[in-house]
């Protein structure tokens, strides 16, 4: 067996300068607060022995992903860890070195044997295995209790706990590889490939069914159109195409096209393009034919003539209506001259009446003034005399009043009545004169509209129209000429159109034959797909994928079986020690003992662990965090004890074993360790002062205590050693 006697650490993780530890007592305690370098000291032993094997995802320890070997504050130099072991033939010195600043730098391993032989590189690595016969997993399971392992097992999540127990049992590689296999999603990929191949097959079958239906329908239609069964051949299609080409050529000649070259398809594959060509050429020839062009020109002219004719008729109608309205008005009320005379007559009469009214008013004023004078100025006694001459004029006032009432007043009123009548008549005549003006303007506008239309007609006919000429007659004559020309051209065109119609009919039949044959060809191509080398290769690649998935499935089964067997073996070998240590430390009143079982998770192939109390009850619901911690420690200690006979390492390393433990459990753990110290060298790291005190006072073996009192980035851990 190999005892650890000395460790020198330089530049490794928390360490900066060189630090030496002597393990010259049965028990060594590494004490101090967290982040002072205790775990780095234990990690240094592990790294020295196993190098990169204890780093990265493959360890199954989350904290080991992106683990830093070199102290992050060092800029240059070497990381170096030397561990000295006392073995059967003397002292064995192992040194592992790595350059600072290079994350994946090559490591240099040196093994110095007691006889002075020095081995390096692969020889040194092989020698490490020969000497210790231990893998990293074995070391982690039975020699070095990682604090991460305890932390992980404290979870309540079954999957994570299974993960942690696998790690405690050194089965992480199985679990991690199984996870890798699951993560590759091979079954999903294979299913996807199979599905797509099946989809392709179904699509092909569907396409064949669709084409069969199309061919059947089109053949039926073709036969109904008079195409005989024997026409559904490529040769027949080519013959028909040649006939159509000849017909296009004849049409071109008929339509007056010069230098037209007909095109004849040579192979069946050219027929679809030929059909398009025929259609394009026919349309082009037709559009360029002189008859057609002439017909289009006549139609355009006809259109041009019809519009001004309509407009002229409309304008002429408006002029006639305006004239009729004016004539009727003049007939009824007289013309402009008569109306002016009537107006002047009324004005003269009004002037005469005004003169009469003025005279009558002068007399009326005199009478009115005399009456007012007699009434208001002359005293009553003098009213019997004339106020002008003083002659007696008895009843003068009464006489004047009678004169006013009976003659003057009625004369004035009658004259004013006559004047009002004349004025009213004058207004009527003014209004009629205005109306006549409006009618004359309307007539003028209508005549102007007619003249505009006339000019438009002259422009359309491209000639001047004399005053004696009837534009409507001229238009009608031209329209009749156009109609005659159209009739003549129409007869010629209708013959040619019949030829085109016949051509289109032939073309339609050719298209039907072509489509049927193309569908038949497509169908044949799809059927031939099943005989292609590509399909065979596709099947081969699918078989290859299927075989690969089958092989991986077999590996997965082998991994799951091996993992389960190893777990069962380890649990079996450690179960009595596990039970003993668990009961000793926990002393749970409701759990008389603990039985651990393992089974394969049928879905994932991973190990699934369960606990049973010895009385058959499920202890999980009553296990505290402390109990779980004790379970993890008991499992580690149980496995150590179970492998003690074959174990090459004479020491155990425990890192912070009292997480979540109460005072009583800590005391019981110390008792267990006191017992183990009789058989194994113990190296224990703890930040727990209570546990340290219990260890120093209750472990009867001599102890070396390294106190990690501080840590600085430039100096690393500050360590002092005391003896106990």
Partner 1 sequence: MGYREKVLDKINAMEHRADERRFLWQTLINSFEQEGADGAANELAGRIGKVQERFDTLLEKLEEMA
Would you tell me which residues interact with partner 1 (CB under 8 A)?
A: 56-58, 65, 135, 137, 171, 173-174, 176-177, 179-186, 189-190, 193, 196-197, 200, 203-204, 207, 525-526, 529, 532, 534-535, 537-538, 541-542, 544-545, 547-549, 551-552, 554-555, 558-559, 561-563, 565-566
Dihedral sign for Cα 615, 617, 621, 625, please.
Answer: positive
Instruction: Residue 695: name the closest of 1, 26, 83 by CA.
Output: 26
CB closer to partner 1 out of 185 and 328: 185
Supply the minimum distance, in Å, between the C-beta of residue 522 and partner 1.
9
CB 38 within 8 A of CB 30: yes
CB closer to partner 1 out of 551 and 618: 551
Supply the minimum distance, in Å, between the C-beta of residue 551 and partner 1.
5
Supply the minimum distance, in Å, between the C-beta of residue 147 and partner 1.
21
Instruction: Residue 295: name the closest of 255, 258, 260 by CA.
Output: 255
CB closer to partner 1 out of 166 and 627: 166
Supply the minimum distance, in Å, between the C-beta of residue 550 and partner 1.
8
Alpha-carbon dihedral 538, 543, 544, 547, rounded to 10 degrees: 170
**Is 75 strand, coil or helix?**
coil
CB closer to partner 1 out of 57 and 447: 57
Instruction: Residue 716: name the closest of 73, 27, 20 by CA.
Output: 73
Burial of 198 (0-12, 13-18, 19+ CB in 10 A): exposed
Kind and range of the H or E run holding 98: strand 90-99
CB closer to partner 1 out of 183 and 390: 183
**Is 645 strand, coil or helix?**
coil
Supply the minimum distance, in Å, between the C-beta of residue 32 and partner 1.
32
Supply the minimum distance, in Å, between the C-beta of residue 532 and partner 1.
7
Supply the minimum distance, in Å, between the C-beta of residue 637 and partner 1.
23
Contacts of residue 564, defined as CB under 8 A and 6 or more positions apart, other chains included, come to 598, 599, 600, 607
Which two three-digit tokens encode residue 380?
């009553």
CB closer to partner 1 out of 12 and 174: 174
Which two three-digit tokens encode residue 295?
């017909």
CB 551 within 8 A of CB 186: no
CB 612 within 8 A of CB 597: yes
DSSP secondary structure, 19-40, as one string: EEEE--SSEEEEEESTTSSHHH
CB closer to partner 1 out of 177 and 650: 177
CB closer to partner 1 out of 223 and 558: 558
Supply the minimum distance, in Å, between the C-beta of residue 187 and partner 1.
10
Cα(551)–Cα(152) distance, integer angstroms: 33
Supply the minimum distance, in Å, between the C-beta of residue 604 and partner 1.
13
CB closer to partner 1 out of 5 and 54: 54
Cα(467)–Cα(250) distance, integer angstroms: 53
């Amino acid at each position: 067996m190999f005892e650890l006697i000395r460790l020198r650490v330089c530049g490794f993780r928390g360490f900066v300068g060189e630090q030496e530890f002597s393990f010259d007592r049965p028990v060594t305690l590494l004490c101090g607060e967290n982040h002072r370098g205790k775990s780095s000291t234990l990690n240094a032993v592990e790294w020295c022995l196993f190098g990169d094997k204890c780093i990265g995802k493959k360890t199954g320890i989350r904290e080991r992903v992106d683990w830093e070997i070199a102290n992050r504050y060092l800029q240059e130099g070497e990381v170096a860890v030397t561990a000295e072991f006392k073995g059967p033939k003397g002292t064995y010195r192992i040194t592992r070195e790595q350059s600072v600043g290079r994350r994946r730098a090559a490591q240099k391993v040196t093994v110095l044997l007691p006889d002075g032989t020095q081995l390096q590189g692969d020889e040194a690595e092989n020698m490490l295995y020969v000497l210790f016969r231990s893998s990293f997993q074995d070391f982690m399971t039975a020699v070095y209790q990682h604090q991460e392992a305890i932390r992980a097992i404290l979870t309540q999540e079954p999957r994570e706990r299974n993960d942690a127990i696998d790690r405690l049992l050194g089965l992480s590689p199985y679990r991690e590889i199984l996870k890798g296999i699951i993560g590759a999603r091979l079954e999903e990929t294979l299913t996807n490939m199979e599905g797509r191949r099946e989809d392709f097959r179904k699509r092909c079958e569907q396409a064949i069914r669709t084409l069969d239906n199309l061919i059947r329908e089109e053949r039926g239609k073709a036969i109904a159109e008079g195409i005989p069964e024997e026409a559904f051949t490529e040769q027949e299609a080519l013959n028909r195409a040649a006939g159509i080409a000849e017909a296009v050529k004849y049409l071109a000649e008929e339509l007056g096209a010069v230098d037209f070259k007909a095109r004849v398809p040579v192979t069946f594959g050219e027929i679809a393009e030929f059909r398009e060509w025929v259609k394009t050429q026919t349309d082009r020839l037709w559009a360029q034919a002189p008859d057609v062009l002439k017909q289009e020109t006549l139609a355009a002219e006809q259109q041009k003539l019809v519009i001004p004719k309509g407009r002229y008729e409309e304008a002429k109608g408006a002029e006639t209506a305006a004239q009729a309205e004016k004539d009727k008005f003049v007939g009824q009320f007289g013309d402009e001259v008569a109306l002016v005379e009537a107006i002047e007559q009324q004005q003269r009469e009004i002037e005469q009446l005004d003169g009469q009214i003025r005279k009558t008013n002068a007399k009326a004023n005199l009478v009115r003034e005399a009456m007012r004078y007699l009434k208001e100025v002359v005293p009553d006694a003098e009213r019997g005399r004339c106020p002008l001459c003083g002659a007696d004029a008895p009843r003068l006032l009464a006489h004047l009043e009678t004169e006013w009432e009976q003659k003057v007043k009625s004369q004035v009123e009658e004259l004013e009545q006559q004047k009002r009548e004349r004025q009213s008549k004058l207004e009527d005549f003014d209004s009629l004169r205005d109306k006549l003006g409006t009618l004359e303007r309307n007539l003028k506008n209508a005549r102007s509209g007619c003249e505009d239309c006339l000019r438009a007609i002259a422009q359309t006919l491209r000639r001047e129209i004399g005053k004696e000429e009837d534009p409507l007659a001229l238009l009608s004559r031209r329209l009749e000429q156009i109609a005659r020309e159209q009739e003549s051209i129409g007869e010629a065109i209708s013959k040619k159109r019949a030829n085109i119609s016949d051509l289109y009919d032939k073309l339609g039949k050719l298209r039907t034959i072509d489509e049927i044959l193309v569908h038949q060809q497509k169908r044949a191509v799809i059927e031939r797909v099943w005989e292609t080398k590509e399909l065979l290769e596709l099947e081969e690649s699918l078989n290859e994928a299927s075989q690969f998935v089958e092989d991986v499935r077999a590996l997965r089964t082998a991994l799951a079986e091996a993992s389960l067997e190893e777990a069962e073996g380890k649990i079996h070998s450690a179960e009595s020690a596990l039970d003993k240590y668990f009961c000793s430390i926990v002393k749970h009143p409701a759990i008389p003992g603990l039985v651990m079982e393992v089974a394969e998770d049928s879905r994932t192939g991973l190990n699934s662990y369960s606990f049973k109390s010895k009385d058959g009850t499920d202890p999980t619901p009553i296990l505290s965090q402390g109990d779980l911690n004790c379970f993890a420690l008991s499992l580690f200690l149980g496995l150590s004890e179970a492998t003690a006979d074959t174990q090459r390492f004479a020491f155990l390393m425990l890192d912070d074993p009292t997480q979540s433990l109460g005072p009583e459990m800590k005391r019981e753990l110390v008792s267990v360790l006191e017992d183990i110290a009789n058989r194994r060298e113990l190296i224990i790291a703890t930040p727990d002062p209570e546990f340290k005190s219990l260890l120093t006072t209750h472990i009867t073996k001599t102890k070396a205590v390294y106190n990690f009192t501080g840590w600085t980035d430039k100096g690393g851990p500050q360590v002092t050693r005391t003896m106990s």
